Amino acid sequence: MDGRYRLEDARGSGSGGIVWTAFDRKLKRTVALKRPHAVASQADRIQFRQEAEIAARVHHPNVISVFDTVDGDECWLVMEYSSAESLDNLLAAGGPMPVDRAARIGVQVAAALVALHAKRIVHRDVKPGNILVGDQDVAKLTDFGISIWREETRTGDGTFSGTPAYAAPEVADGRSATEASDVFSLGATLFAAVEGTPPFGTGDPGEVLRRVRAGDMLPMRRADRLAPLLSRMLTAEPGKRPTAEQARQRLQDIAGEWVVSSPPVRAASVPFWRRRVCQVVAALVLVVGVGAAIFLPVDTPSAEPSRDVPLGTGLVGDERTVDPCALVDRKAMERFGPAKLDPTYGNFNRCDVLINTGARESVDVEVQIVTRRAADVHGHPGEVIAERPGDSDECDRTMLLDDTYAIRITANMANPTADLCAIADAAVHMVSKAVAGRQGPLPRRATPLPQDSLAQVDTCPLLDKTALAQLPAIDPATATPDVGNWACKWYSPSTPTVVHLRYDQHAAKDPISGEKTQLGDHTAYVKLDVDSGASCTVSVRHQPANQQWRSAIDLMVLTVRGDRRGEEYCATATSLAASAAAKLPR
């Protein structure tokens, strides 16, 4: 298929099309290929390509990813492969499920809808058949945004696009589906999961649609704690339904602190930005190659669960003037050994405590303010996300401050001789004390960041569409800035490729690792990542003319990471770094 995909097995045939497993010869992986039953017209093909491009921009662990299209004699969609069973098959085999289990599945599907709606995508056909449920009830939503797949049902009134038993009243009435329609369909799906039948019954499609329009809903007998939420989701007026995010939050309350268990995974000693912290309460799916993480209220005496900490509001304020060292109490960390505070050990949003435990190297405790969007963490303010400890040179914790910000705490040491997680937990307790009950913002920096430093330069504008065109897989529209706009990431909608540009402060007396090269007026250093072997990093010195001497110099650091060998990215990373460096002030 297209010289790239080798068809293997037909997995099944539904109303929308036939699904095959296939082998991707280029990326050496199994994928799913789907084609419609009907022959597509030229207009269908154009719409198919446009819709697939939009769908491919959605990245969420509870959504089946769209990778590619093959538009030859037939329209094929290339998707993430999942061996999971559809929810309708589970219900057919096992009957109605308990409320807790339905809520666990529902909270994940709601999270998927939040991601779709954020991209202005309406699914239009949420139903049990489009929800895959795998091991430990990890759920994924599929078949979104591609109109050619939607089931068409002939009724006495004509042709209806969608599934009558799960359609919202406005859709049954002939109006276009909206985000509120998706919420209704999810409510109908959860109704069927706990009651054993859709809310408006089954049978002749036209009769089902009539009952939907009339609001002739079956009574709820088994929904229990779900009943109030389902009633709101299934209300006839779209404006009175909860949003997908509101539904997700309520479903999370019903599901409780559900945790997907997983075997310990060795966490590579890599920077924070390269690991997606997976908070399972929000139902993120663990992916091979990513540091496994769990939602974990810290229960050691030194770090009580921060959800019990009455956090203040408006703590961060102006991102470029807030002092991250205001979160640090050096003396609180001295029970592990003599400690020294260093505000110039990393990016401008970070403050470090170096602890001498008697070993050859110090333990470095990093405390940095991050945005939750850039860090990709979910949960309620006050919660702590902890990576599962393993045979690692670091231990990581993330405390959620509010809906926008989080505090990232990392204790690291090469070949550690100290208990890094005990130190990280003590740091969590330290930060909790700094923010608990505080009214108003954290203290500002005593000394403003220098006007001639990179702290005054936004990262995202340094790479424009022309520069990023060197990596066609990267979508420039995915630019995601972090605190102070001192870091920016760009993503690929179809591959694991990521471009990460950020600043660093480096001791002027210390050498910079990597192979030295010249990028115009800037000296740079190119380095392969020996841990993952799948990225290349270029560090660029920034020392404008007439800059006063400082003990730390600014670096612009650019990394390209993907699923190929790191050396394959070095030429592109160097070229991108050159483009970004050319825009730095001189």
Task: List the CATH number of the domain containing 426.
Answer: 3.40.1000
Catalytic residue among 2, 68, 71, 125: 125
Residue 393: active-site member: no
Do 353 and 398 belong to one domain?
yes
Q: Range of 422's domain?
A: 324-435
Of 377, 403, 435, at which residue does a domain stop? 435
What does 298-329 look like in DSSP terms, one character per residue?
--BTTB--GGGS-B-BS-S-STTTB-GGGG--
Work out the average pLDDT over 544-571. Answer: 86
Question: What are the phi and psi torsion angles at 325 (to 5°)?
Answer: -70, -15
Residue 459 counted as domain residue: yes
Q: What is the CATH number of the domain that holds 59?
A: 3.30.200.20
Q: In which band, very low, low, confident or very high, does the pLDDT at 17 lie, cut at 50, 70 and 90? A: low
Going from the C-alpha of 443 to that of each of 177, 429, 542, 585, the distances in angstroms are 48, 19, 28, 29
The residue type of 60 is H
Q: Which range is least confidently modeled, 68-72, 428-432, 468-472?
A: 68-72
Residues 135 and 246 in one domain: yes
Higher pLDDT pick, 72 / 214 = 214
Give a yes or no: residue 234 inside a domain.
yes
Same domain, 74 and 106: no
pLDDT score for 417: 84
Cα 222 from Cα 126, distance rounded (Å)? 22
The DSSP bridge partners found for residue 526 are: 515, 538
Question: What is the CATH classification number for the domain harbouring 208?
Answer: 1.10.510.10
**Same domain membership, residue 479 and residue 353:** no
In a domain, 265, yes or no: no
Q: Does some domain include residue 294? A: no
Q: Give me the number of domains the chain comprises.
A: 4
pLDDT category of residue 37 using cuts at 50, 70 and 90: low
Whether this prediction's pTM lies above 0.85 is answered by no
Given 39, 63, 80, which residue is the final one in a domain?
80
CB 549 within 8 A of CB 450: no
Cβ neighbours for 127, distance < 8 A, ≥ 6 positions apart: 88, 163, 165, 166, 185, 188, 189
Q: DSSP letter at 227?
A: H
**573 and 465 assigned to the same domain:** yes
At 294 the pLDDT is 30
Residues 343, 206 share a domain: no
Question: Quick check: is 449 in a domain?
Answer: no
Same domain, 227 and 113: yes
Q: Which residue has the higher pLDDT, 211 or 119?
A: 211
Does some domain include residue 315? no
Beta strands in 460-497 (DSSP E): 475-481, 487-491
Q: Which of 46, 61, 80 is the last residue of a domain?
A: 80
Question: 70 falls in which pLDDT band (50, 70, 90)?
Answer: confident
CA distance 115 to 121: 9
Does residue 98 share a domain with residue 55? no
503-526 in b/e burial notation, b at 16+ Cβ within 10 A? Answer: bbbbeeeeebeeeeeebeebbbbb
Q: Do residue 95 and residue 65 come from a single domain?
A: no
